Structure formats: structure tokens, C-alpha cells
Structure 1
Amino acid sequence: MEQTQKVHCLIIGSGPAGYTAAVYAARANLKPVLYQGIQPGGQLTITTEVENYPGYPDGVQGPEMMVHFEKQAARMGADIRYGLATRVDFSVRPFKVWIDEEKLIEADAVIIATGASAKWLGLESEQRLNGYGVSACAVCDGFFFRGKEVAIIGAGDTAAEEALYLSKLATNVHMLIRSDKMRASRVMQERVQQTPNIKVYWNSEADEVLGESRVDGLRIRNNKTGDKQVVPISGFFVAIGHQPNSAIFSEFLDLDEAGYIKTTPGTSRTNVEGVFAAGDVQDKIYRQAVTAAGSGCMAALDAERWLTASGLA
């Protein structure tokens, strides 16, 4: 038989957005319950060194930082649990959220902080060396490759932006485009092609990322000729997009064409009153730990105000 529990404020997800929402919600006495999801700590748990988060002058390991966030939320009184939200019903209040298909949580307010997952190529070497020279975020990790050679794969605006960002740090940027044209806007294409230390490889794919304990090279395959060549690199950046973890909400919440949850600009409010979204599941522009944390704060404050206005606080 299905277990049912009623909670005041439910937070789904446990990256910087979820944990920050939990800190604020707990301090506001909303008695938040947070379910950590399939990857407790979110994308930062697959990031090694984080140097751009304020308050860590010597940098911090991503997993360690998420432990700090979790401990702080727990100290404030948040009820943090293992479990994955697998189904929701936002058509009635209290809202219904099923955890691991077996437990039903009924909540007055819901904060969604399920994040987004980077799309990967699916190479064994790419996963093995993830965090050891392989990255899906140039803005996060480009700094570590100053004065080194790097490669990036992708053809859209994000890939072009990241290639340009890397070009300011790295000696050379090898940019792989799968077809014979880029999807990026014309102005971004022109910037890439006018940057002397970005070399574009058309009709090219990553055949294999090379290196034992760290990235030290890339084998590139030409799609048309089948020819392969190896370039020595220290960093390999995948910029083929992110997939927001929003599928279970699509029946009830407005999503954009890429699947990100739409929020009212300047707020965390969704189209369903009492349901709020924070972090990378609703942010396709910035996608940084610090902006996710900020939006988690916004979601908790928005939820507190809404619960008070609704007479539920």
C-alpha cells in the first residue's frame, strides 16, 4: 500500500539551488522536506575544482562544497532525504509528488530544483576522464587550461561563446564541427573565424579522448574521408547542449522549446500558483553555481510569501 505524507514545503533536487532554498525555507519555519534525487549534490559532484564561487579564496572541490551546502541546510532544520521524484500531479492542491514510485508526498508548496544534465558524446574515454581534463563547462573550468591547448566540440552559440572564452586563456583552441556549417548566429560564427588561435575542423568528430589519468590528446575523425589525426591537448570541452530535468513536470508546467521550465521574469514563479522553479532547470543562460544558489533563495522567499498570502503559512 502506498505511504502518504503531508508536508508544508517540498523541495525537489539537491544542487546549489535546492540546498539554498532549503536554508531559506527552514529559517522561515516552512519545515522544508528536500529529496536529493538521482545525483545528490547535482552537477557539482562531477566537477573537481571550483574556483569561482565566492567565499572560497583557495577554491574548493565540487563534491566538498555540496557537502557544506547540505550540512548548512540540515543545521537550519531542513529534512533532507534520499529519493527520486518520479511523478507529480499539480492539478489539485495540496500538490502530489510520488517518490521512487512508492511514497506519496502531499505539499502546500513545491520548489523544483532538479537541474539540467550536460549532453555527452557517449565515449568511454570521455566519461573516464570527466573532471580530469574533460568538462562540459568552459566558464567553470577554462581557467585551469591557461597557456595550454584545448579542444571543444559543438556548433551552436554556446559552443562558439565557449570557444571564444577559451581562446583568451588557451594557446590554441581546436573546434570540431560535425557538419560543414555552424548552427551559431552569424555574428558568433564571424567572431570564431576571425580569432587567430581558434582552428575549426569541419565535418569532424571526436574519435577518442586520449590519456591515462589526465587528458593529453584527442583523436579526430573526418566524417567525409574517414581520415584520423591526433592533436595534443590538455582540455576537452563538450558543448553540445544541456537537457533540463523537467520531463515529469511537462504535463502541468509551461516549458520552452528546449524543455526549460518557464518562470515569470524576475521571480521563480511557474504557471501553477504555489509551484516554483530554481537553478538550471529554468536557467539556460548562466548555469553557474552562484546563480543557481541565488535563484534557490528567490524560490524560498517567493514560496514563503505565497504561503502567507494564501493563508497556508
Structure 2
Amino acid sequence: MRQLIVIGSGPAGYTAALYAARANLRPLLIASSVEAGGDLMNTTEVENFPGFPEGVMGPDLMDKMQRQAEKFGTEVLFDDVTSVDLTGDIKTVTLSSGERHQALAVVFATGSAYRKLGLADEDRLSGRGVSWCATCDGFFFRDRTVAVVGGGDSALEEATFLTRFASKVYVIHRRDSLRASQAMQDRARANDKIEFLWNAEVTAIHSADSVTGVTLTDTTTGEASELPVEGLFVAIGADPRVHLVHGQLDLTADGTIAVDGRSSRTNLPGVFAAGDVIDPTYRQAVTAAASGTVAALDAEHFLTTLPDELLRRTTSDRTGDLAAA
């Protein structure tokens, strides 16, 4: 049995594991077998993460985080969690391989998934003109024409931010009115670089090695047209990855895991959450990493409150984990 298991391998997960490992908790971090490293694995150059004045490639940053966590004693396991039992003093995590691992504390750092348009080549062109984060990628579209898909606050925030770099920003919305707050609408409408395309849906992305344009289909007439753009920013929302904890952890109105104030504490003792899975607003690598720090410190403090007889049952290696039944 472990003292701590971290589920998730983005900035929040690796930072939580790093801090926990330096506290000699020897955590087990369970990374996805397919999506290890989180969203930054699909990001090209990251220029806004502290400590990298020349920028760093997303996958390289995640590799450095993994190696740093492992250096201090984190064990990283590439498998998928299929279920968790968070009740009682001992938490059980079951993997797709059938293995079960137990711990006295668990940190959920499972992140969120950007909603996608579901178009051919959308994933292939990620980092080549298709993006889900203007703050991350807007700089690369200086003096270019780009489009933002969406009609909520996030879409207008993205569009407004992109006007700092792009020469033209189209906002493509499938309806004839926006869902965004009036303040956000007023700000976007007052910006000369922003043009709204109403009742329009992106139905195809054109590219050579990178995005060259999109096909728009009128949602009322069905008529198709072509729009030349060099960047396509998808801002139709994101879904926190909370499927493992339904019925066990409290969720917020935004669907994220609910935590106590600025802490990482959930409604269950010994269960903590960090990163985008608790944050519907900022969703940056650096804020996720900071959140992982909080979770590790909260978990460390929690473990100091447990009876010695429980702590004596933990082990720093895999011999204390349960094999598949």
C-alpha cells in the first residue's frame, strides 16, 4: 500500500508528484497509456512557462517534468484508471490491466478535454494552425488572418486576445446571437479587427502542411463557402475529466471537482484534486503546476494526521499493491 497515488500526468500531476517525492512520500503517478503528458503534448512552442526564456516545446517540457519527478522517487506507471474506490481510510485504484493499487491519499489531476469540432484532420493539424488556446499559441499568428469558433465568453476572450497579434479575426458562430455576456460582446464588437460570421458552421479544414482555410456551411440555407484563414481556434468549451469520481466526489456547477476554498481538499478525507479538473477559468500550465503544489502539501499534511498503525502499513515499492483478483 502506498502513502500517495497521483492520477494524471499533466503539469498538475507531475508537480504534485515532485513535491510529494521530495517529502519522501514516494508516490505512484498513474499516467494514461495514450494521453500521457496532457494537453501540452499537442502544443508546439511554449513561451509563457517561467524559467524558459527561449521557449520550450510542449512535449519537452512534460518530459522534463516527468524526469524531475522520477529523480526524487516518483514511480510513473503508464496505464489507464478504470475505477476508484475512495471510501474509507484506504483508497483503491483499479487499472485497465486489472492491477489494483491502494493508498492512504489520492490526488486527482486528470485535467480536462477541449471539445472538438469532430472534423477530419483536426487532430493532425493541432499545432499546425488548429489550436484550443489563444493564450498559448496566439503569438505565432502575428499579422495573419485567423478564425475563432464559438459564441460564449471563452470564444470572445480568445478573439479579443488574438487581435493583439493577428491582422484579422473572424468569429464563427452557428447561431445569429451570442451566448457571451453583454460586456464581452460590447468589447468584441468595438474591436475593428473582429468580424462576426453568423449562422455558420465549420464543416471542413483546408491545409497543405498547415491550415490554409475552412469551409463554412450556412446553418439556415445549407450553402457552402470558403474562408481563407491561417489559424483556427476552437473555443466551444472543455469538459473536466471527472468520470472516475461521479457519485463519490462533489462537483461544482461547472462540472469540476469541488474543493474547499483555495485548498485542494475534496469532500472526502484523503482525496485531493488539482489542475484543470478543478479550474474552469484559467486553465494554464503554470496555474495547474501551482495547483499541484497545493495538492501535494495538503496531502502531506493529511498524512501526518493519520494513526501510526496505518502509516506502518505503507510501502515504498509495489510489493504492497494488490494483484488482480
TM bucket by the smaller chain? over 0.9
Give the CA deviation at 1:227: 2.2
Distance in 1, Cα, partners of 2:51 & 2:304: 33
Q: 1:11 aligns with which of 6, 15, 27?
A: 6
**Cα distance in 2 for residues equivalent to 1:138 and 1:267:** 28
Contact 2:175 2:198 in 1 (8 A): yes
Q: Is the 2:3–2:27 Cα contact (8 Å) retained in structure 1? A: yes
Aligned twin of 1:91: 87
Please point out which of 120, 128, 141 is paired with 1:124.
120
Alignment partner of 1:28 is 2:23: yes
2:299 is matched with 303
CA-to-aligned-CA distance 1:166-215 (integer Å, 9 cap, x gap): 12221110111111111111111121122111110111011211111101
C-alpha change, 1:212 and 1:50, in structure 2 (3 Å) is: same
Aligned-residue CA RMSD in angstroms?
1.2
**Within 1, Cα distance between the matches of 2:220 and 2:153?**
24
- 1:217 alignment partner in structure 2: 213
Identity of aligned residues (%): 46
Q: Which runs of 5+ in 1 are unaligned?
A: 1-5
Corresponding residue for residue 3 of structure 1: none
Q: Aligned residue for 1:107?
A: 103
Among residues 50, 66, 76, which one is paired with 2:72 in the alignment?
Answer: 76
Aligned to 2:147: 151
* Equivalent pair of 2:128/2:211 in contact (CA under 8 Å): yes
Match of 2:252 in 1: 256
Structure 1 counterpart of 2:58, one-letter code: G
Task: Give CA deviations for 1:12-39 in whole Å, capped at 9, x if unaligned.
Answer: 0001111111110000011100000241
Aligned to 1:271: 267
- Check if 1:246 corresponds to 2:239: no
Q: 1:205, 1:125 → 2: CA distance?
A: 16
Which residue type is aligned with residue 250 of structure 1? H
2:12 counterpart letter in structure 1: A
Deviation at 1:310, TM superposition (A): 2.5
Q: Secondary structure at the match of 1:39?
A: coil
Task: Write the letter of the residue equivalent to 1:86.
Answer: T
Amino acid at match of 2:115: K
**CA 1:116 to 1:168, structure 2 compared with 1: closer, same or farther past 3 Å?**
same
Q: Which runs of 5+ in 2 are unaligned?
A: 312-325
Normalized against structure 1, the TM-score is what?
Answer: 0.96
Pick the aligned partner of 1:169 from 162, 165, 168: 165
One-letter amino acid matched to 1:36: A
1:286 aligns with 2:298: no
Aligned to 2:188: 192
Partner SS for 2:201: strand
8 Å Cα contact 2:105/2:303 also seen in 1: yes
Q: Is residue 87–residue 101 contact of structure 1 (8 Å, CA) maintained in 2? A: no
Q: Could you tell me which residue of structure 1 aligns to residue 44 of structure 2? A: 48
Distance 2:249 2:88 in 1: 13
| Superposed displacement of residue 83, structure 1 | 1.1
User: How far apart, CA to CA, are the structure 1 residues paired with 2:51 and 2:26?
Assistant: 27
Measured in 2, the distance between the counterparts of 1:258 and 1:242 equals 10
Task: Give 2:322's aligned residue.
Answer: none
SS in 1 for 2:171: strand
Name 2:232's counterpart in structure 1: 236
Contact persistence 2:79–2:97 (CA under 8 A): no
TM-score (norm 2): 0.92
Aligned to 2:68, what secondary structure does the other structure show?
Answer: helix
Cα contact 2:138–2:162 (8 A) shared by 1: yes
- Give 1:73 deviation, angstroms: 0.5
Question: Which sits farther off after the overlay, 300-309 or 99-108?
Answer: 99-108
Q: Which amino acid aligns with 1:154?
A: G
CA distance in 2, matches of 1:35, 1:167: 39
| Distance apart, 1:101 and its partner CA | 5.8
Of 174, 177, 195 in structure 2, the residue corresponding to residue 178 of structure 1 is: 174
**Secondary structure in 2 matching 1:254:** coil
